[in-house]
């Protein structure tokens, strides 16, 4: 925690994961969100893991409610995703939503020079995204 600001400085994305069966991990996630708030990270994602265990663990006196996680995410302008890595609710939708958020962040009037200072690299996945590609084709620099 002591060096988290240095570690996240200049980051474009912060993905913070907590265990839905342990309220203490949720409190740590909140502290992390609070700590990185001044860094102005464009994309913050809060992930509640182990949702499959919420109903299975009988000796779980203090689980994290989805409503509480959604409120926390909203308070820090983050997206919330409940997930587990063993069933249908896996991590792939998180990265799909992140990609859509990046494309929206770049904007409709896409020009490559607009990415300067936004800490976003134009990798294969962004460059081949249909919205990004169409915006590039509409740009006067790429017209015949």
List domains and CATH numbers for the chain.
4-142 (3.40.50.300)
Q: Outline where DSSP puts E strands in the chain.
A: 13-19, 43-49, 79-82
Average pLDDT value for residue range 25-48:
89
| Element housing 4 (H / E) | helix 4-8
- Write down the mean pLDDT value for the chain: 75
Residue 65 has pLDDT above 80, yes or no: yes
H helical segments located in 9-65 = 23-36
More reliable by pLDDT, 26 or 65: 26
Number of Cβ within a 10 Å radius of residue 35:
14
The model's confidence at residue 68, banded by pLDDT at 50, 70 and 90, is: very high
Residue 56 burial by CB count (10 A; 0-12/13-18/19+): exposed, middle or buried?
A: exposed
* Predicted pLDDT at 39: 83
Number of Cβ within a 10 Å radius of residue 63:
19
The model's confidence at residue 109, banded by pLDDT at 50, 70 and 90, is: very low
* Predicted pLDDT at 67: 92
Lowest mean per-residue pLDDT among 46-50, 103-107, 109-113: 109-113
**pTM of the predicted structure, to 2 decimals:** 0.68
């Amino acid at each position: 925690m002591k060096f988290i600001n240095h570690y996240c400085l200049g980051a474009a994305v912060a993905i913070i994961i907590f265990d839905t069966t342990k309220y203490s991990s949720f409190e740590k996630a909140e502290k992390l969100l609070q700590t990185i708030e001044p860094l102005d990270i464009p994309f913050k994602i809060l992930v509640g893991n182990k949702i499959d265990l919420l109903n299975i663990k009988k000796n779980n006196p203090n689980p994290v409610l989805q409503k509480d996680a959604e409120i926390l995410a909203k308070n820090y302008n983050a997206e919330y995703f409940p997930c587990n890595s063993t069933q249908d609710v896996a991590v792939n939708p998180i990265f799909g939503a992140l990609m859509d958020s990046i494309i929206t962040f770049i904007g409709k009037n896409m020009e490559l020079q607009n990415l300067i200072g936004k800490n976003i690299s134009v990798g294969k996945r962004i460059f081949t995204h249909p919205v990004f590609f169409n915006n590039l084709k509409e740009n006067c620099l790429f017209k015949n």
